[in-house]
Chains A and B, each alone.
Chain A
Amino acid sequence: MTVTPLLQVNDLAIAYKTGDHEQRVVHGVSFSVAPGEVVALVGESGSGKTTTAQATLGLLAGNGRVESGTIQLNGTDITRWSQKRLDSIRGAVVSLIPQDPGSSLNPVRTIGSQLAEVLQIHKRGDRKAIQTRVTELLERVGLTPAEMRARQYPHELSGGMKQRVLIAIAVALNPALIVADEPTSALDVTVQRRILDLIDELRRESGTAVLLVTHDLGVAADRADRLVVLQNGRIQEQGPVKDMLAAPRSAYTRRLLADAPSLGKPRPARPGIETQDFAIEVTGLTHDFPVSGGETRSFRAVDDLSFKVRRGTTHAIVGESGSGKTTAIRSVVGFIKPTGGRILIDGVDLTTLKGEKLRQFRKHIQLVYQNPFGSLDPRQTIARIVEEPLLNFEPIPAADRARKVRDMLARVGLSESFLERQPRALSGGQRQRVAIARALVLDPRVLVLDEAVSALDVTVQAQILSLLDELQKTLGLTYLFVSHDLAVVRQISDTVSVMHKGRQVDGGPIETVFGRPDSAYTRELIDAIPGRGLPVLAVPPELPPRLSP
């Protein structure tokens, strides 16, 4: 065991300067990565995992600074190297696979030129040699025909394809270490699997070590040799994946494991719901979008979708991006008029309503959006945000409105001290609670949740899911739950529709669809869920101790 580690981080402390004081976000972090090893930095937002990873590349944001500690690469301390000196190793010895492929490529330059750039910067060959290498790399990451792809611009490629380009850039010079910062969190689950497989493959070929930054314990468990669990900038625990998952020592790791959505924890079957009437009945829903460029051509986003949801139950619509799930629910909430089909909400056909009648009907069906940061007006107070829907319908005396708002906030678990705060003072989970309160203040019968927990950390996600469950029981709500995450869907839904390319490929009770899927696509989706290596899967759900409050 005298091998020099490739990367050795010793007692690293990093602070960000805000105003005139410095806030320390990483406190004495130490870990190492051996040549060819995959080490995962796991933690929730604010755990300092991304900051630590950025520091290993010398790419802290402008106001960040390494306060103390060292970062050694191949035994050389690079902590206090100048940017100019770091430029010589970035891309060549250490490279990056970034988080969001959508914005990580320059929109005005071709794929080929952005890939060639890393070779030009490090002066690897003349124009012709670089051209050949670019073609080779594009082929290697599965982007064919490579010559055609090289001439395309980022907007002409899908998210998965863009991430392949970024991987090609990262491996172009056979670096010793790749820092992969949430490389797949912006991608669909089946794409995620293929991208992670590709990284695995390339890494094995050239013996590259990977520092994998992820919030997803499942991804870490599947792909890493060792785990480093971070919370609030401190290491809670580190060690080989197998040991840690089998016997987590820290309370925090145990909580992460318990909250991680996995296929092992289905929603317990609820007796008596079969006798409820249907709150939502969708039959033959079809939506065509005109395609610009041709007068008669159109694109069928939703093709003959039918499902029924019993009152007080949860129906999930599952699909990847482009599956038509968003178009479908936009029709169900009455934002767009479908090309064909019927949508009955409590027996009223939504597709026949328009104007003021439709507006009045919206009271009964409310929407909670995905992004808890974008869906709240940053200038309004929480009280005002929750009150606003009430102002759109029959006038209610101000005192009654205020009482309703307070009741609703209490229901979603927010104290009265939140009333006068503004959204920016709230965490993601608290904001999503506000969004739920705003949706429920009109006493709707149906709540449509559009990826409502996708942007949240696992422990917060678990809290919001249990809140939704409790609200459903006490208020008798019917949920339409849209998600790309099958594990979450399994936890919360009674019935499910699986959508693929606008069509429903599977549908029915959750256990039937997950246990004996009809379509190959549903099976592929289930197989692609990361974290099948998590040992909790084998353990009955009540066994892992849930220490969270």
Chain B
Amino acid sequence: MASYLLGRVGQALVVLALTFTAAFLLLQVLPGDAIMIKFMSPDMGLTADQIAEIRASYGADRPLWERYFTTVGNFLTGNFGISIQAGVPVSQQLATNLPPTLLLASLAFVAALILTIILATASNMVGMEWLRAGLQSLPSLFISVPVFWLGIMLIQIFSFQLGLVSVISPGPVERLVLPVLTLAIPISAPLAQILMRNIDQVLAQPFVAVARAKGASRSWVLWRHVARNAIMPTLTIAGVLFGELLAGAVVTEAVFGLSGLGGLTYQAVGNHDTAVLQAIVVISALAFVTINLIVDLLYPVLDPRLGSRSGAPA
């Protein structure tokens, strides 16, 4: 168990290191940089010497490998550098922009899971054939809905038509309802699809027939035999979809005019603000890796066959 844990944590660290390096290299080979964009515009009227001086002050004149190791060292000590465009430390920008995005993403993740479970349970419990077929086709509908369109439609329906959620100066909870839904629905679609398919597969297993032969009702079988077996593959996909969630958060924040990592990313890309982008990539990767690490660690808890692997002979 300990070696399984160590192995997984080690893999996570390798992924992080590779992501960091790849992001660093890609950001360096982009033509132009933030300093050029900010200071070389003719309005500034700076001479070539002055610009060179500014470059030197940011360390931009150092060779690539030296800058790489300086950045690694800085990141390890929690120093993410300075945003050239804003002129403030990146960590300060993250402190204001990360929490709202994190809140949005986590709420959306939980909402997606709840939606998934409701859909899968309902489609397996209802007796009416047509309703079941309807529920089973919902995920394929959801999956084809783009986030921005869904956001706009939700605002149209709930805010403008029904007047349920106010758009102008909403409360802290009210403000999040529609963005969370916008983000959760497209994530829940593939999850529900996979969960439904897994439930069908598990229902076809002989041990389900044995449980029925014991006199267990359909819902008893579903909760006590099928659920835990069907949830495991779904969990893997949930971890992978978390990346989707981060990407979706950027669009959602733009549609609903929320401040957060999305807005920050958008500005930083426009300005080639390398330090900010590097920090965002690493933080996203960290979140992604952590979620998947949790998923991996949950596996042996859910499936006893994975926990005792070391004991059994090959």
Contacts and interface: CB of A to CB of B under 8 A. Distances in A.
Contact of A299 (B207, B304, B313): B313
A104 B215 CA distance: 15
Contact of B216 (A100, A117, A155, A156): A117
Contacts of A292: 309-310, 313-314
Nearest to B202: A106
B210 A105 contact: yes
Given A289-B314, A291-B314, A299-B313, A103 B305 contact: no
A315 B215 CA distance: 49
B197 interface: no
Interface of A: 57, 59, 83-84, 87-92, 95-96, 98-100, 103-109, 117-118, 121-122, 153, 155-156, 166, 169, 289-293, 299
Given A108-B229, A121-B220, A153-B304, A98 B206 contact: yes
A83 B213 contact: no
Interface residues of B, number: 29
Contacts of A107: 207, 229, 303-305
Contact of B225 (A96, A106, A290, A293): A106
A386 B259 CA distance: 65
Interface string B211-231: 111111110100011001100
A106 B217 CA distance: 16
B308 A156 contact: yes
A88 B215 contact: yes
A118 B210 CA distance: 10
A96 B206 contact: no
Contacts of B209: 59, 96, 98, 104
Contacts of B210: 96, 98, 104-105, 166, 169
A90 B314 CA distance: 39
B42 interface: no
B205 interface: yes
Nearest to B204: A61
A218 to B, nearest CB: 24
Nearest to B212: A59
Contacts of B309: 292
Contacts of B220: 121
Given A89-B215, A92-B215, 15 more contacts: A59-B212, A84-B217, A87-B215, A90-B212, A98-B206, A104-B207, A106-B207, A106-B225, A107-B303, A117-B211, A117-B216, A118-B215, A153-B304, A169-B210, A292-B309
Contacts of A291: 313-314
Contacts of B225: 106, 109
User: In this complex, which of B206, B218, B303, B311 has the most chain A Cβ atoms within 10 angstroms of its Cβ?
Assistant: B206
B25 interface: no
Contacts of A88: 215
A98 B210 CA distance: 7
A290 B213 contact: no
A290 B314 contact: yes
27 contacts: A84-B217, A91-B214, A91-B216, A92-B215, A96-B209, A98-B206, A98-B209, A103-B206, A103-B207, A104-B210, A105-B210, A106-B207, A107-B207, A107-B303, A108-B228, A109-B224, A109-B228, A155-B305, A155-B312, A156-B312, A290-B314, A291-B313, A291-B314, A292-B309, A292-B314, A293-B310, A293-B311
Nearest to A172: B214
A103 to B, nearest CB: 5
Contacts of A91: 213-216
A96 B303 contact: no
B302 interface: yes
A212 to B, nearest CB: 16
Nearest to A108: B228
Interface string B259-284: 00000000000000000000000000
Contacts of B215: 87-92, 118, 121-122
B141 to A, nearest CB: 25
B5 to A, nearest CB: 16
A434 to B, nearest CB: 28
Task: Return the 8 tightest CB-CB contacts between A and B, nearest first.
Answer: A96-B213, A91-B215, A91-B214, A118-B214, A90-B215, A104-B206, A153-B304, A103-B206
Contacts of B229: 106-108
Nearest to A115: B214
A170 B314 CA distance: 32
Nearest to A95: B213
A88 B216 CA distance: 9
Contacts of B308: 153, 155-156
A83 B224 contact: no
A267 to B, nearest CB: 37
Contacts of B313: 289, 291-292, 299
Contacts of A155: 304-305, 308, 312
Nearest to A166: B210
A61 B206 CA distance: 11
A484 B59 CA distance: 75
A96 B210 CA distance: 7
Nearest to A83: B218
A121 B211 CA distance: 10
Given A100-B206, A156-B308, A169-B210, A87 B303 contact: no
Contacts of B216: 87, 91, 117, 121
Contact of A153 (B206, B218, B305, B310): B305
Contacts of A117: 211, 214, 216, 224
A415 to B, nearest CB: 35
User: In this complex, which of A83, A88, A108, A289 has the most chain B Cβ atoms within 10 angstroms of its Cβ?
Assistant: A108
B214 A121 contact: yes
Nearest to A57: B213
A169 B308 CA distance: 25
Contacts of B205: 103
A99 B210 CA distance: 10
Contact of B217 (A87, A89, A96, A108): A87
A165 B308 CA distance: 21
